[in-house]
């Protein structure tokens, strides 16, 4: 049974919730704009984000900005096999923790602005193999040019019929303004989260294969590490 004080990963290994909160807090202090949230996502928000996410027919799921893994847990509990999950997390500390926690998932330390680069060059996968993108990226708090690049990259990456789910604390406008090329399917507010969050779901009605120019992204020492050139 799940408890308020512990959480179990897909292998059933329990981890104290307080440890997660402490990890989140220290990352928040170190990099407030990149974390962009006061607390980890609540179980209710995590379930809402994951509710439509399936890995049917051997497809992959891409999670952007998984943080401490609250939504990752919900995606896996929803039945997505761990080895069908690719996550891109910018914080080296969080990426290391996620790699330990989800040993069979493809945990990539890197910048979500470099999706194409990370997925193609580093994992040898292509956009057509992904059915869903699940994003916790704080688009409103990261620098606007980077957020715009990420939003463009997400829309370029999604193949026809693939979906995006994104949450935001902007309850009124949601994330709709960022993803004008996608069809907005539904939105809902999760009040049991600190602060309350709005979940927007989209899907791609046509394929956009305009890749983010690779010159913007460069690999660094160590496998799976890709970041945006500043």
Instruction: Give contact residues for ligand SAM (rule: CB under 6 A).
Output: 24, 34-37, 40-41, 64-65, 67-68, 70-71, 88-91, 94, 111-113, 136-138, 142
Q: Please, which residue, 137 or 154, has the CB nearer to ligand SAM? A: 137
Residues 214 and 191: their CA atoms lie apart, in Å, by 40
Question: Whole-number minimum distance, CB 170 to ligand SAM, in Å?
Answer: 13
Specify whether the CB–CB gap between 64 and 133 falls below 8 A: yes
Question: Whole-number minimum distance, CB 115 to ligand SAM, in Å?
Answer: 9
Question: Whole-number minimum distance, CB 34 to ligand SAM, in Å?
Answer: 4
Question: Whole-number minimum distance, CB 114 to ligand SAM, in Å?
Answer: 8
Helix axes 70-77, 43-50, angle to 10 degrees: 50
Question: Whole-number minimum distance, CB 185 to ligand SAM, in Å?
Answer: 21
Q: Please, which residue, 62 or 162, has the CB nearer to ligand SAM? A: 62
Output the CA–CA distances (angstroms, integers) from residue 167 to 50, 182, 195, 200, in the order listed: 11, 15, 12, 6
Q: Please, which residue, 163 or 168, has the CB nearer to ligand SAM? A: 168
Specify whether the CB–CB gap between 200 and 187 falls below 8 A: yes
Q: Please, which residue, 25 or 207, has the CB nearer to ligand SAM? A: 25
Q: Return the closest-CA partner of residue 113 out of 64, 180, 161.
A: 64
Sequence-distant (6+) residues with CB within 8 A of 53 are: 61, 75, 78, 80, 132, 134, 163, 165
Question: Whole-number minimum distance, CB 106 to ligand SAM, in Å?
Answer: 14
Q: Please, which residue, 73 or 182, has the CB nearer to ligand SAM? A: 73
Q: Please, which residue, 116 or 206, has the CB nearer to ligand SAM? A: 116
Q: CA Rg, the chain, in Å?
A: 16
Element housing 21 (H / E) = helix 17-30
């Amino acid at each position: 049974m799940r408890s308020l004080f512990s959480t179990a990963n897909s292998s059933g290994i329990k981890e104290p919730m307080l440890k997660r909160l402490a990890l989140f807090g220290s990352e928040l202090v170190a990099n407030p704009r990149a974390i962009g949230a006061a607390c980890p996502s609540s179980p209710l928000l995590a379930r809402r984000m994951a509710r439509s996410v399936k890995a049917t027919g051997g497809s992959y799921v891409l999670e952007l900005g998984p943080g401490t893994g609250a939504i990752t847990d919900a995606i896996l509990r929803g039945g997505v096999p761990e080895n069908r999950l690719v996550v891109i997390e910018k914080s080296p500390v969080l990426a290391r923790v996620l790699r330990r926690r989800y040993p069979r998932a493809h945990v990539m330390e890197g910048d979500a602005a470099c999706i194409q680069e990370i997925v193609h060059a580093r994992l040898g996968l292509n956009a057509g193999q992904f059915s869903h993108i699940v994003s916790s990226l704080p688009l409103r708090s990261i620098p606007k040019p980077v957020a715009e690049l990420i939003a463009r990259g997400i829309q370029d990456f999604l193949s026809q019929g693939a979906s995006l789910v994104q949450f935001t604390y902007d309850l009124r406008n949601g994330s709709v303004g960022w993803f004008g090329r996608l069809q907005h399917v539904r939105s809902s507010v999760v009040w049991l989260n600190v602060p309350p969050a709005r979940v927007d779901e989209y899907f791609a009605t046509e394929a956009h294969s305009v890749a983010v120019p690779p010159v913007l992204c460069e690999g660094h020492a160590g496998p799976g590490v890709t970041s945006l050139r500043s």
